[in-house]
Structure 1
Amino acid sequence: MIELDHVIVSARDRVASARLLASLFDVPWDETALGIFSAVYVNPGLTLDFITTDEDFPVEHFCFRVSDAEFDAILDRLEAAGIGWRGDVRGRNDGQVGTAHGGRNIYWDEPDNHRWEILTKSYARRPG
């Protein structure tokens, strides 16, 4: 089986970006995991390695499938942090939760404009 091991995420401030995501997901992180990276340990098999850069970089989209309990907890942490969200990939932060695909999903943008999403049911994977 092929598994994704890690992804490098460009940021203006790797420490701040990694700390924020780790706090929202309530997962461990390491400010200097591999010297130039701040690592967020999303689960036992996936690490997000944040790297500081002054170069232009594209806005990326990252989506994580979570349980209903994890969804509720992350939503509570977003609220507590004052971070707006929306139920649609585009548009303004309206505090709405998306339900179009039989589960729940929300999007939010982090300070470097990367677009983060959590969902409870994958709409990217369909049987057949």
Structure 2
Amino acid sequence: MAVELNHTIVPAHDPQTSAKFLAEILGLTVDPPVAHFTPVTLANQVTLDYDHVDAFEPHHYAFMVSEQEFDAALARIQDGGITYYGDPACQEEGQIYRSKSYKGRRGTYFRDPNRHLMEILTPGT
């Protein structure tokens, strides 16, 4: 069997609010709870299992999306008044990036309610 990522734990102050936030941006749904986790399942069946934690360092999560999904997610970010950035240092506010290494790749960064740095990006060529 090939090695695959099955799930990862996402620390959150309020797991349901955090899972709902990301699911809405990505056009996904929040799955029913599994034990004390609030899961969001991605297209490749990997789950993000949100778990309540009081103190943690923010993490970075990147999501590959199609061109159409990127446009839809960016529109939801903009419509929601969520600040987004063209760089991971969050200095280029209100921008997206266009990769020179991967022709046609676009992406942007935004923070979730827990200050995790979320990134959406397209495959490019």
TM-score by structure 1 length?
0.87
Shift of 1:93: 5.5
The equivalent residue for 2:15 is 14
> Considering only aligned residues, what root-mean-square deviation do their CA atoms show, in Å?
1.5
Shift of 1:112: 0.8
Shift of 1:44: 4.4
The equivalent residue for 1:38 is 38
Identity of aligned residues (%): 36
CA contact (8 A) 1:84 1:93 kept: no
Letter in 2 for 1:108: F
Aligned partners of 1:91 and 1:79: how far apart in 2? 16
The equivalent residue for 1:120 is 122
The equivalent residue for 1:98 is 97
Alignment length (residue pairs) = 120
Determine whether 1:86 maps to 2:88.
Answer: no
- Compared CA separation, residues 93 and 15, structure 1 to 2 (3 A): farther
Aligned partners of 1:8 and 1:90: how far apart in 2? 23
**Deviation readout 1:53-100 (Å, 9 max, x if unpaired):** 11x212100011111001000001111111110110003361111013
The equivalent residue for 1:70 is 69
The equivalent residue for 1:51 is 51
Structure 1 runs of 4+ aligned residues shifted over 6 Å read none
TM-score by structure 2 length?
0.89
Aligned partners of 1:93 and 1:50: how far apart in 2? 28
**Deviation readout 1:8-52 (Å, 9 max, x if unpaired):** 00000001000111111111212x521211111122421100011
